[in-house]
Amino acid sequence: MSATRETAQAIVVGAGPAGAATAWALASQGLDVIVIDKAHFPREKPCAEYLSPQGSRILDAMGVLTDVEQAGAAQLAGMRVRSPDGGIIHGEFAASHGFSGFRDRGLALRRRHLDPILQRAATRAGASIREGTSVESLIMVGDAVRGVRVRTSGGSTELRAPLVVGADGLRSGVARRLDLAARLPWPRRVAFVAHFRDVSDIGAHGEMHVETDGYVGLADVGHGETNVAIVVPKHLARDAAGDAAGFMMRWIARHPQLAPRFTNATRVSTVGVTGPFASHARRGYASGAALVGDAADFFDPFTGEGIYAALRGGELLGSFAADAIRATSERNALRALKAYDAARVAEFRNKWLVERVIGAAVSSPMLMNHAARVLGSRRDLADILIGVTGDFVPASRVLKPSFLLHFLNPRTWRSNRRAA
Ligand SMILES: Cc1cc2nc3c(=O)[nH]c(=O)nc-3n(C[C@H](O)[C@H](O)[C@H](O)COP(=O)(O)OP(=O)(O)OC[C@H]3O[C@@H](n4cnc5c(N)ncnc54)[C@H](O)[C@@H]3O)c2cc1C
């Protein structure tokens, strides 16, 4: 069968949150956008499925906040983090630190429900979404990307456009083909994610339990279901050996505060396995192409703001990419994409730093226990940190010496050692 050819002003590869938000932002400016995804929706995506309070601002801008709420999203009031020795950090999104999110609550909804709602925002704005369509290669003219060759059940098609957006998630093929992808050496973790009914004592707070053999997140995701996401160092994931469900239950059984809560629980989904995750693009653009969402960077699920970063990245890219598409010269187009990348780094730089500090604490039981003792006795500090993870308190707030000194104070260390 001979290849057919279509043209558009932007081709977005990936119809997850990053692709949907980018397509919505571009189509809303009157641009002709085609989105392709190899999956058929609704599909499962291994994810803890929590969306930060500030994520609601972008849902609202996209015109789908009410849709997400009406789809039965759970409302999360804050987070409870348990350290390996049982210390508890409790933070609320609604607090008295002077910052507030677009909403006082986070939302949590299965991705099989959320992603199609986000895609609806893109199609309402005028984008065309093609499911079951996989990228085979990039079309290059000189050094510039000028489209993609795609395969569908009907054969091959060439989609040509002045801009190709890689919103194709972790292990982005677009980033790899442009030689932009870089793996981070640390952390090397693997996640096992499934949904359960009848887990006991699930309340209005997301829970993270950090253990010496990994961590687990538990959260209500609406419809009477609990998302259970266990993340372990890669070498421990080998024990799963083809039995991911058994691995999850054995992991839970090893932890006495968790096991009784699963006595009457029933798993209602398959187990999604993914990892290692940590990766980032050396740069978020190339001539005729840009990266967004996980394709551009992802560190670790612990702080769980990948959906917000994907939506915000799409929103940001939309405002620069329109200039690139309409540019009258290659030089001006590249300048617009470079400006996007600079804006992306400026937006997320501090957050990346906070994620890495938290990632280090999660890797070390001693640090995590210490952090839980400091933050467990200072609810005001815990609220600030939870607000940073909720995307409405600036990350710079917890990077200030006045915040960090609470963790270094020798008196705190001494009293903590006595408590230990
Ligand atoms: C265990 C775990 C827990 C997490 N928990 C949370 C959480 O609670 N909250 C949160 O905000 N974030 C969480 N995240 C992160 C979040 O899942 C991601 O950051 C988010 O999905 C990124 O969106 P995206 O659109 O960039 O990528 P994705 O959602 O991965 O979408 C990429 C899309 O590209 C498509 N695609 C890939 N290759 C091709 C191709 N060649 N051709 C066509 N289509 C292609 C895929 O089918 C997919 O639909 C978690 C991640 C993990 C691993």
Q: What is the pLDDT of residue 40?
A: 98
Is 274 a pocket residue for ligand 1 (Cβ < 6 Å)?
A: yes
Q: What is the pLDDT of residue 407?
A: 86
Atom of ligand 1 nearest to the CA of 306: 19
Place of tokens 């982005």: 172
Q: What is the pLDDT of residue 2?
A: 53
- Return the best residue to mutate from 307, 308, 348, 362 for the ligand 1 pocket (most ligand atoms within 8 A of CB): 307
**What CATH class does 4-75+106-184+278-353 carry?**
alpha beta
* Joined tokens for residue 272: 């999604």
Q: What is the pLDDT of residue 239?
A: 86
How many H helices and E strands in the chain?
14, 24
Q: Among candidates 80, 24, 23, which has minimal Cα distance to 50? A: 80
Q: What is the pLDDT of residues 219-267, one digit of tens each?
A: 999 999 999 999 999 999 998 888 999 999 999 999 999 999 999 999 9
Per-residue pLDDT of the chain (420 residues; tens, 9 = 90+): 456 899 999 999 999 999 999 999 999 999 999 999 999 999 999 999 999 999 999 999 999 999 999 999 999 999 999 999 999 999 999 999 999 999 999 999 999 999 999 999 999 999 999 999 999 999 999 999 999 999 998 899 999 999 999 999 999 999 999 999 988 888 899 999 999 999 999 999 999 999 999 999 999 999 999 999 999 999 999 988 889 999 999 999 999 999 999 999 999 999 999 999 888 999 999 999 999 999 999 999 998 689 999 999 999 999 999 999 999 999 999 999 999 999 999 999 999 999 999 999 999 999 999 999 999 999 999 999 999 999 999 999 999 998 988 887 766 656 555 555
Is 187 a pocket residue for ligand 1 (Cβ < 6 Å)?
A: no
Atom of ligand 1 nearest to the CA of 18: 25
Is 137 a pocket residue for ligand 1 (Cβ < 6 Å)?
A: no
Atom of ligand 1 nearest to the CA of 115: 29
Q: What is the pLDDT of residue 212?
A: 96
Is 301 a pocket residue for ligand 1 (Cβ < 6 Å)?
A: yes
| Gap from CA of 307 to ligand 1 centroid (Å) | 8
Q: What is the pLDDT of residue 186?
A: 84
Is 313 a pocket residue for ligand 1 (Cβ < 6 Å)?
A: no
162, 325 Cβ separation under 8 angstroms: yes
In the chain, where the domains are located = 4-75+106-184+278-353
Q: What is the pLDDT of residue 124?
A: 98
Is 168 a pocket residue for ligand 1 (Cβ < 6 Å)?
A: yes
Query: Could you please report the per-residue DSSP string of 185-244?
Result: SS--EEEEEEEEE--TT--SEEEEEEETTEEEEEEE-STTEEEEEEEEEHHHHGGGTT-H
Pairing of strands 279-281, 297-298: antiparallel
